[in-house]
Amino acid sequence: MSLHRSLKTTAGALNQHRNVLTRTERIERLVAEKRFTHGDDSPLGLVKVANRAVAKKKKAAKEETTTEEETPVSTE
């Protein structure tokens, strides 16, 4: 039986941005921000951790005119 096209995954599908983090990922982020200490804080009922995707900047259009082509060359 074949898979429906909406259920097929692409090669890069596993590397896509996820909004929901696992408990261990949230603890790692909180430890890095010094908001969680092992042994003192409970791993249950953790605070929310924002996982925002960083928007990639669009590449600027290359200028078609270059200064070398427009400057006249003087032969003095």
- Residue 56 in domain: no
* Contact present, 21 and 29 (Cβ < 8 Å): yes
Confidence (pTM): 0.52
- Residue 7 in domain: no
- Residue 3 in domain: no
Distances from the Cα of 22 to the Cαs of 34, 36, 45, 48, 54, in angstroms? Answer: 18, 15, 13, 11, 19
- Residue 55 in domain: no
Structural domain of residue 20, as residue ranges?
16-45
- Residue 68 in domain: no
Provide the domain count of the chain: 1
Tens digit of each residue's pLDDT (9 = 90 or more) over 6-23: 777 776 666 777 788 889
- Residue 76 in domain: no
All residue ranges of the chain with pLDDT < 70 are 11-14, 60-76
- Residue 39 in domain: yes
- Residue 57 in domain: no
